[in-house]
Structure 1
C-alpha cells in the first residue's frame, strides 16, 4: 500500500495476482476495495481456467 500523488489516493497492490490493485481516499477504503478486487480476480481466473498461484506468505522487513 502506498500513496500516489498523481491519483491523490492510496493504492493497494496484490503482487501475487498480476494486475490486481485498487485505490481509495484512505488506507481503509483502499483495503476494502482491494479485497473485493481479489475475489473478482480469482473468480475470473477460475472461469478462464487460468492458474492461481499459492500465496507466498508475508514479506519480512528489518
Structure 2
C-alpha cells in the first residue's frame, strides 16, 4: 500500500437509545447510520461506516459530498 490517505471531516450525531446503546449517523452522508452498545463503540462504528461509505463512493467514481451543516444551539423560552 502506498500513497497518502485523504482526510475528511464530517459532523456526526450520537443519540442515546431508550433501551440502551447509541445510534450514530452522519447527516452529510445519506444513509450512513450505525449503532453501538456504548458511546465509544458507536463513535468507532460511525468512523468505520464513514470510511466504508467514502471508499464505496470512490470505487463507483461518485463525488464525495462536502459537509454543508451548521450546528446552532438555541435557547427557547416557553
Q: Which bracket does the TM-score occupy, shorter chain normalised?
A: 0.7 to 0.9
Specify which of 19, 23, 40 is matched with residue 28 of structure 1. 40
Name the counterpart of 1:52.
Answer: 64
Contact 2:22 2:36 in 1 (8 A): yes
User: Are 1:40 and 2:25 counterparts?
Assistant: no
Name the counterpart of 2:22.
Answer: 10
* Structure with greater helix percent: 1
| Larger-gyration structure (1/2) | 2
The CA deviation at 1:57 is 5.2
Q: How many residues align?
A: 61
The CA deviation at 1:61 is 1.2
